[in-house]
Amino acid sequence: MKILRRWLCIGLLACLPICLQAQTSDSYFLHTIARGENLTSIAATYNVSVADIVRLNPGSDRFIKAGETLRIPQSKDNNGPQYHTIQPGETLYGLMKRYDVTVEAICKANPGLSESNFRSGQVIIIPAADKTADLPIIQSDQPASQSVVIPQQSYRDIHKVKRRETIYSICREYGITEEELIAANPELKTEKLKRGKYIRIPFHKQMPVAPVVTPGESAMPTNSELFERINSDTKRKNQLKVAVMLPFMLNGGNQGEQMRMVEYYQGVLMAINELKKNGTSFDIHTYDTQNNAATVRQILARSEMKDMDLIIGPGHATHIPAISAFSEQNKIRLVVPFTSKCDEVFGNPYLYQVNTPQSYLYSKVYEHFLRKFRGNNIIFVDAGDGETDKREFIGGFKQELKDQHIPFREINANSKESIEQALQSGTENILIPTSGSNIALIKLLPYLKALKLSWEAEETPDKYSLHLFGYPEWQTYTTDHLDDFYTFDTYFYTSFYANNLSVSVVNFQKEFRQWYHKEILNTYPKYAILGYETAHYLLKGLSLYGNKLEQHLNNIQVTPIQTSFRFERVSNWGGFINKKVFFIHFTKDHELIKMDFDQ
């Protein structure tokens, strides 16, 4: 029996290296976790499953931390695009040689890649090698005896015409003029574009032709020189084509939603009217999606849609995949104005998501909070309302504090004494209810008022410095609690806030009333202002910077009324998320301050 056991052990040990080898045979690359990312967003970015990531990173399903790295499984298709994590000392030229691809191909696959962010740790897509890139170009519709052979260095790229592409859309894609494209392809003067036809893409007349490095030469182009090759000029656009796709429900439906969508659209029109004063003309196409997938498909099939500069919509998240796919295929910028859940932003470089996803929003709140209150007495208060609506926010907040070794307290507020015992003198005391409900405030505020009264009776009205810190929903509770917010020096975070007493909001409401002879709906956010500010920001940017909009997003000068924008790419090949968050402060002096931490 002992001999049998011994042989079994030897057999298992012999198999062990094989098992270990199988477990580590996965091809992977490294991803550095950014603030606000979670496994879901990372999986969407790389088009893998959460389970795939967890398999290579045991324990990541329980906790991940910004700044750490994750192993991401690499595609097993050797003929398809691959992901590459830039290593210290690597250059763009080196990657071109290693993967046998052109700088144009790499930059086309990574619209967010630039000289400034080409650095160690960045992940980029390496497109599949173009086996014909160094071959002469032979027009497929000509006899071999009449083949047109062009030296590689005399043209920028070769383009295979896709279905429904036009000369205009191809020129816009490559940042060249129609005259330049036709000069490089004289047959276009008499022939129509045909699907599958190969055409030459010339260098823009102000774009330097890449130096040719022959074998044996030691000189290698720098990153700066290579990126300069593919940079096209900024062209101010004096005419913009805009499609608005929203569920106006003209055939009947949810009346409340209909009113909100109409008001949003009315705000868009006010922005366009203002921009027209600065010399930009607009071609506006408005469509009622009717909250119907078939209607959305019919709209996208219309011939004019592929020539749009901007699409605004949809109103419902279920229609985003179809419109996003159309946007990406036709290289049209798409604004998703309402939902905070939009996985398409991780793969569509033309998509702008206005409403910040929860994980990114919370990450920014933690960052701003610690800039403001680090070193103070932080107290999480359970008011006993039974709500768990902020469980994810509070859980992430506590983890952030633990990671930075910042102490905090947790209490159940069931009397004024239970609160006072957690307070400290000589510092600021920040009370954070663990629920954003109005019930939580209704339960908590009487205890705080009782504390104030007891301190006044002791003739120590400022015995403790006290602040409330809360949530975006609190701005809808001002009818009941406005005086209390001022009394307890309250803060709350939000992405949208319109102060009805501010000059900018009063003036906008006055103009809206003059335009439409009605009042703005009392909603959060105010849809008319949201439509106005979204359209004003992006259309102004397009009119000023044209095809270089993405490089100038932080240069677009607008005065916020309700919404501010700080669009950031989620990856080098993904779209943009608005990561703007600010705090609203109700001071003891009855002032209302909007705190912008990015200024």
Say which CATH number the domain at 443 has.
Answer: 3.40.50
Residue linked to tokens 């709906």: 521
Q: What is the reported pLDDT for 445? A: 95
Give how far Cα 91 sits from Cα of 103, 156, 221, Å.
11, 20, 10
With bands split at pLDDT 50, 70 and 90, how would you rate the model's confidence at 26? low
| In a shared domain, residues 347 and 376 | no
pLDDT digits (tens, 9 = 90+) for 363-412: 999 999 999 999 999 999 998 888 889 999 999 999 999 999 999 999 99
* Same-domain pairing of 38 and 151: no
Q: Within a 10 A sphere around the Cβ of 336, how many other Cβ atoms?
A: 28
Flag whether 506 is in a domain. Answer: no
| In a shared domain, residues 250 and 349 | yes
Please, which pLDDT band fits residue 204 given cuts at 50, 70 and 90?
low
Q: What is the pLDDT of residue 211?
A: 46
28-51: average pLDDT: 93
- Position 71 pLDDT exceeds 70: yes
Query: Looking at the structure, do residues 345 and 407 belong to the same domain, yes or no?
Result: no
- The answer to whether residues 329 and 380 belong to one domain is no
Instruction: Report cis status (omega within 30 of 0) of the bond before 525.
Output: yes
Cα of first residue to Cα of last residue in the chain, in angstroms, is 77
H or E segment to which residue 311 belongs: strand 310-312
Q: Cβ-count burial of 223 within 10 angstroms (0-12 exposed, 13-18 middle, 19+ buried)?
A: middle
pLDDT band for 45, please (50, 70, 90 cuts).
very high
pLDDT recorded at residue 272: 96
Q: What is the CA radius of gyration of the chain?
A: 29
In a domain, 573, yes or no: yes
Q: 514 in a domain, yes or no? A: no
pTM, two decimal places: 0.80
Of the three residues 447, 471, 494, the one that is the final residue of a domain is 494
Q: Where is average pLDDT lowest: 48-57, 96-105, 231-240?
A: 231-240
Residue at 523 is within a domain:
no
| Residues 349, 374 within the same domain | no
Note the residue count of the chain: 599
Could you tell me which residue, 151 or 531, shows the higher pLDDT? 531
Residues 6+ apart with CB under 8 A from 25: none
In the DSSP assignment, the letter for residue 444 is H
Q: Please indicate, yes or no, if residue 218 is contained in any of the structural domains.
A: no
Among 91, 126, 161, the domain boundary falls at 126
Count of domains forming the chain: 4
In a domain? residue 247: yes
What is the structure's pLDDT at 432? 97
Would you list the DSSP string of 237-306? -SEEEEEEEE---TTS--HHHHHHHHHHHHHHHHHHHHHHTTT-EEEEEEEE-TT-HHHHHHHHTSGGGG
CATH of the domain at 281: 3.40.50.2300
Domain annotation covers residue 310? yes
Domain CATH code at residue 91: 3.10.350.10
* Domain interval for residue 87: 27-126
**Does any domain span residue 527?**
no
Question: Are 155 and 108 members of one domain?
Answer: no
- Pick from 597, 566, 582, 569: which is nearest to 495 by CA? 582
Pick from 521, 562, 548: which is nearest to 233 by CA? 548
